[in-house]
Amino acid sequence: MSVVIRQPGVVMTDHLFQVPLDHAVPGGEQIEVYAREVVAAGKERAELPWLLYLQGGPGGRAGRPVGRDTWLDRALDDYRVLLLDQRGTGRSTPATRQTLPLRGDVAAQADHLAHFRADSIVRDAELIRHALLGAQGRWSLLGQSFGGFCTLTYLSLAPEGLREAMITGGLAGLRSSAADVYRAAYPRVARKNAAHYARYPRDVEAVRRIAEHLLVAPAELPDGGRLTVEAFQALGLMLGSGSGSDLLHYLLEDAWVRGSAGRELSDTFLAGVQSKLSFAEGPLYAVLHESIYGQRSVDPGPTGWAAERVRAEFPAFDAAKALANGAPVQLTGEMIYPWMFETDPALRPLRETADLLARRTDWPDLYAPEVLAANEVPVVAAVYHDDMYVDTADSLATADAVRGLRTWVTDEWEHDGLRVSGGKVLDRLIRMARGEA
């Protein structure tokens, strides 16, 4: 029996579905996928259209709402919302350092995780649609970031299940390899660094001093992780959100304390860094990140730790050279590096598994350009100007390749605009989908 929870303004119902681990073998091993239905209080029995929300990631569980918070407040005016914990996350059958050893050796673990990309997520969603709406029912789709990538896969594999699709910060390059993605990303990250240092000029020296210290003596984080120079640079991931630059500045303010042994990195700073760098809550983000770009028709070879390989083409991100030359130390962005599986305790047991995935070849295609070119589903997308996480040029090229897709290019919001705009981003997309904007 489904569990129903009431919070101020909302009624939430738990749903648990059995789906095949491998959709090519529907009678084979089954896993669980959890979803939370959310409807405005008083509308529980109303005939409302369904809106499926696909979370960013990969490997991110759906948000846990508290009443009508963030974008849900606007969505619940018109929709019955389904928040999906994508396979392997949240209350779905987990895939973590604790559970994956149950699959067997590292090869078995890698084979298992090969079924956790967007194509499997979409096929899960289709089974759920049939269960909740019936075979003829169609629902609306909202995809944030990686959820937008999944939306493009949905439009490629099962457009008949959709009445409309809305994408925020998630128009992926249909023909971009992992190396292409990172080759375009490093210059964008450099621009975000420049903007941060222009806003907070003293942070140039603050970052250099921390990097100098870590180059000689890497610090231990509260969870036992190692804060190396490269790990410290990974805090640049923060620069892609609307308030990220400010939060990074405040984090740096607390960097130092004078202890019995002299000046040292403070516990406050190290705890704050750990909260930003640890993958304990979402290990699949690191393990699967580069595989979301794998497509055999684009590049039949392995993704091969593309972020690490391409980084060598951008020497400005070499902290040691920057320190030697008196240059600002460049922070990195949404890049996953092999050394992360050494410095982060949550990832260490998955090091060999991740390496096998990085060496895997012949990934199935995720998008069908010919289907997208003939698309009949209304699709609208918010494209954030100079989005640090998703290349704007790729997004606009994809918009041209999907028949009927309308874009709203804005510099008012960063990549997290859906969450922080108080419903304004979603409202604009809803009105666009209806032809009202």
Residue range 74-128, pLDDT digits in tens: 999 999 999 999 999 999 999 999 999 999 999 999 999 999 999 999 999 999 9
Q: What is the CATH number of the domain that holds 86?
A: 3.40.50.1820
User: What DSSP string runs through 48-61?
Assistant: PPEEEEE-SSSSPP
Name residue, tokens 């304990």.
280
Indicate if 22 and 102 belong to the same structural domain: yes
For the chain, the C-alpha Rg in angstroms (whole number) is 22
The residue from 359, 388, 421 where one domain ends is 359
| Predicted confidence (pLDDT) per residue in 20-65, tens digit | 999 999 999 999 999 999 999 999 999 999 999 999 999 999 999 9
d(CA 270, CA 131): 47
Closest CA to 273 of 256, 251, 257: 251
d(CA 68, CA 313): 46
CB of 136 closer than 8 Å to CB of 129: no
Indicate if 310 and 419 belong to the same structural domain: no
The residue from 295, 329, 359 where one domain ends is 359
Indicate if 165 and 242 belong to the same structural domain: no
| Predicted confidence (pLDDT) per residue in 309-353, tens digit | 999 999 999 999 999 999 999 999 999 999 999 999 999 999 999
**pTM of structure:** 0.96
Note the pLDDT of residue 130.
98
Indicate if 141 and 116 belong to the same structural domain: yes
Indicate if 372 and 355 belong to the same structural domain: no
Instruction: List the catalytic residues.
Output: 145, 362, 415
How many other β-carbons are positioned within 10 Å of the β-carbon of residue 27?
6
Indicate if 344 and 427 belong to the same structural domain: no
Indicate if 100 and 47 belong to the same structural domain: yes
Q: What is the mean pLDDT of the chain?
A: 96
CA count, 13 A, side-chain hemisphere, 182: 24
E strands, 252-328, are 256-259, 262-265
Indicate if 157 and 188 belong to the same structural domain: no
Indicate if 233 and 131 belong to the same structural domain: no
Indicate if 150 and 294 belong to the same structural domain: no
Indicate if 198 and 145 belong to the same structural domain: no
Residue scoring higher pLDDT (119 or 262): 119
The residue from 314, 338, 359 where one domain ends is 359
d(CA 79, CA 260): 59
Indicate if 56 and 185 belong to the same structural domain: no
CB of 276 closer than 8 Å to CB of 237: yes
| Structural domain of 66 | 4-174+367-433
Tally of domains in the chain: 2
